[in-house]
Amino acid sequence: MGRQARARGFEPGRHATLLGRDDNRLSDQSTRNAVTRAKDLHLVSPRSGAACLVLPSHLFQKAKGAPVPCRLHQDRTPGV
């Protein structure tokens, strides 16, 4: 399986803040809906969630991949 990229370094709730408008953070449900829509459009991996966005290799390709998985995907092989 190809390498994947993760939105590393964001604190909890940061995606909700980035997806909101006019300094208004999205609700948890709206953030989950936005991630689901991104999955439906194949913009993020099906393994993505509000706390960890994983870009599929067809959108982002990096030779080495991430040196370690994020805390949510630690049980998986890095970059897989």
Beta bridge partners of 52: 49
Q: Model's pTM, two decimal places?
A: 0.63
For the cut 80, the answer to whether the pLDDT of residue 65 exceeds it is no
In the chain, the DSSP E strands lie at 5-6, 54-55
Kindly list the distances between the CA atom of residue 72 and the CA atoms of 20, 21, 22, 41, 46, in Å, as whole numbers in the listed order.
Answer: 23, 27, 29, 23, 14
- Tens digits of per-residue pLDDT, 21-45? 888 888 989 999 999 999 999 888 8
- Confidence at residue 1, expressed as pLDDT on a 0 to 100 scale: 41
| 39 in Cβ contact with 52 (< 8 Å) | no
